[in-house]
Amino acid sequence: MNAMNMNTLSTQDLKPIDRENPREIRNLLGQFATGVTVITTRGQDGRKIGMTANSFSSLSLDPPLILWSLSKSAPSLADFMQAEYFAIHMLAQEHHSLSGHFARGSDDKFSGIAHRECERGLPLLEDVLATLICKNINQYEGGDHLIFIGQIEHYQQRHGDPLVFHAGKYRIAAEHPELST
């Protein structure tokens, strides 16, 4: 069979990206389901810093590296850029309100939130699926975001189902019915 007989999708069938319409781009990229994290650190002035992010990904097993990104317009950008360490908290499906809490602006995001500190002084959220203590080893430009690379030094984890974000809404993960035993 030659390439001319195959069903192909041409660029005529594809829509061009409209850079003047960020909502359209956000909706497009929102079709990729992600987990939800809260990322914490300590500011240079000693303040506890925390924010919700779904831009988290594993990067390498050897060494154990992760990446996440932060908008260059985020109020906490300078704090994360200067931080020697940060903590990634992977949220469980029951943590949708916790995610919403850290997604909103507040003078003290940790008020009324169960947390403790590790020996690095980072605020650590209680009862999350996993916590990764990461050394902030590098940052890279990424358009309107800054990409952070962290090397995992310590962690904790528990069993549970993750909180998922898809198409602008919180979702829960379920086992695929065709693959269940």
Predicted local confidence at residue 3, as pLDDT:
52
Predicted local confidence at residue 59, as pLDDT:
97
Each residue's pLDDT tens digit, 53-103: 999 999 999 999 999 999 999 999 999 999 999 999 999 999 999 999 999
Predicted local confidence at residue 7, as pLDDT:
66
The distance from CA 140 to its chain's CA centroid, rounded to whole angstroms, is 16
Query: Secondary structure of 69-85 in the HEC alphabet?
Result: EEECCCCCHHHHHHCCE
Q: What is the mean pLDDT of residues 102-116?
A: 92
Worst-scoring range by mean pLDDT, 10-19, 47-56, 126-135? 10-19
- Give the pLDDT band of residue 4 (cuts 50, 70, 90): low
* Mean pLDDT taken over the chain: 91
Count how many Cα atoms sit within 13 Å of the Cα of residue 97 in the half-sphere of its side chain. Answer: 3
Which residues have CB under 8 Å from 40's CB, separation 6+? 48, 49, 50, 86, 87, 89, 122, 123, 124, 125
Whether the pLDDT of residue 113 is over 70: the answer is yes
Biggest alpha carbon–alpha carbon distance for the chain: 67
Pairing of strands 130-142, 57-61: unpaired
Q: What is the mean pLDDT of residues 93-119?
A: 93
Bridge partners of 158? none
